[in-house]
Structure 1
C-alpha cells in the first residue's frame, strides 16, 4: 500500500489526499507527456467511484490493480527487456544498452535524464510501477 501512497502523493500537489484532473494533467506534463484537461477529466471520471470528480487512494489502487491484471503480462515482458539481469528496475545503464540494441546511440547522462523524468520515488531507477504509469499514456 505504501507504493500507492507514494504515487498519490506525487500527483497530489495540494496535499488534500485526492487527485484532481488538473493535478493529473500537471503531473503528466512534468514528465513530458501532453494530456489535455478534457482527457484528464475523462480519465478521472472513468475511475471516480464516488462521483466527487477526484481520485482518492482507494480509487487509484483500484485503477492500478485493474490495469495490472489486464496488462501486467505484456508490460512485465517489456519492462524486463529494459532491465538488467537479476534486477527488478531500469537503470540508466540498462536503458542505454537497450536503446543501443534498438539503434539509438545515447550516452548514460541522457539516460539518467530520462529516468529522472519518470522516477516518482527519487531512487534513481524506474520500478515496474513507475514504468506502468509511464506507459499508461
Structure 2
C-alpha cells in the first residue's frame, strides 16, 4: 500500500504528509482511517500520545517538537484527557 501511494517513487517505504492524506481519502472509509490511527497510536493503547505523534512524524521525515505535538493534541482533544482517541482522530482528519 505504501509503495502504491508514495508520490516520490523512491521506494523508501515512507509516506510524506501528502501521501498520507491520499491514504485517508482512499475508498475504505473507516477501515483506512482506523489503520491510519493505529499508525499514530501508542502500540496497544488505542490512543495517540504526544510521544507517539512525535515518533510518527519523525518516521515520516518531519522534525516536530514535543511542545508542538502537545499543541496538536490539545486542539483536537475534545474530552481533555491529554490523548487522542479514534473519534478525536477522525475530527483531526476531517
| Residue correspondences, number | 67
Could you report, residue by residue, the CA deviation over 1:65-123 in whole angstroms, capped at 9, with x for unpaired residues? Answer: xxxxx621011000000011111010000000000001111121110011001100100
- Whose helix proportion is higher, 1 or 2? 1
State the Cα distance separating 1:135 from its structure 2 match: 1.5
Structure of larger gyration radius: 1
Moved runs in structure 1, 4+ residues, more than 2 A? none
User: Unaligned stretches of 5+ in structure 1?
Assistant: 1-69
Aligned residues: CA RMSD: 1.0
User: Unaligned stretches of 5+ in structure 2?
Assistant: 1-27
TM-score of the aligned structures, taking structure 1 as reference length? 0.47
- 2:93 is aligned to 135
TM-score of the aligned structures, taking structure 2 as reference length? 0.68
Are 1:101 and 2:59 an aligned pair?
yes
Q: Distance in 1 between matches of 2:49 and 2:62?
A: 16
- 1:113 is aligned to 71
Q: Structure with the greater relative contact order (CA < 8 A, sep ≥ 6): 1 or 2?
A: 2
